[in-house]
Amino acid sequence: MRKVLVCLIALSAVASAQGWKKIFDGTSLNGWKHVGPGDLVLENGVMVTSGGMGLLWYELERFGNTTVRVVFKTDGARGNSGVYIRMPEAPHDPWYGVHNGYEVQIEAGGDDWHCTGAIYSLSKAAKRVQKPAGEWNTMDIELKGLITTVYVNGEKVNEFDPSKPVPERVKWYEPIRGPRAEMGYIGIQNHDGASKVSFKEISVKR
């Protein structure tokens, strides 16, 4: 019994040292709020997109100088979602995150500016390392000052410096260009009824 207790204490110390805090752990959607069509629903401990386009955001705090970890899987090559970061205010509609924050894209089939790890239409992914549909992926989004760095499955795929030039805005649904906040709310996109993307963990580490 003593050995078991020592082992549990050691494991707890390791987890604490790593500094990760789960803001979605598969047990509830407490602290999250949804705006717009569709929803993200809890199914067997996993958050699953349904319909859209909507936005589920974490309302309890804003994050800056933080790494956001999202563990996700898609049901097909066109499974479409995204992680919103740097939203300065509570979003009042599902497009708020697009035009006032940044969307870190989730979609295996998009072009380099609109695929997993890209900052949607602003900074392209340097490589594609998303696993096949049905397999879990880990995306780490590091917010350091105004710099955003994205890792997918342990590999660096993007580093976005907003002080550098970005492509011209050509489509109505692309984000309005301009500066974003260092600190802001984060959220998850449910894109459309044909896309199913699942999330089993969302954690943060300051």
* pLDDT interval class at 78 (50, 70, 90): confident
Q: Is the pLDDT of residue 118 over 60?
A: yes
Percentage of residues of the chain with pLDDT beyond 90: 86
In eight-state DSSP terms, residue 133 is T
Q: What is the pLDDT of residue 2?
A: 57
How far lies 26's CA from each of 8, 48, 96, 143, 167, in Å? 22, 11, 26, 24, 38
**What is the average per-residue pLDDT within 84-94?**
97
Query: Using one digit for the tens of pLDDT, what is the confidence trace for 122-148?
Result: 999 999 999 999 999 999 999 999 999
Q: Which domains does the chain have, with CATH numbers?
A: 21-205 (2.60.120.560)
**What is the average per-residue pLDDT within 171-197?**
95
Q: Is the pLDDT of residue 52 over 90?
A: no
Q: What is the pLDDT of residue 1?
A: 46
Q: What is the pLDDT of residue 3?
A: 57
Q: Is the pLDDT of residue 154 over 70?
A: yes
Q: Is the peptide bond before 139 cis (omega within 30 degrees of 0)?
A: no
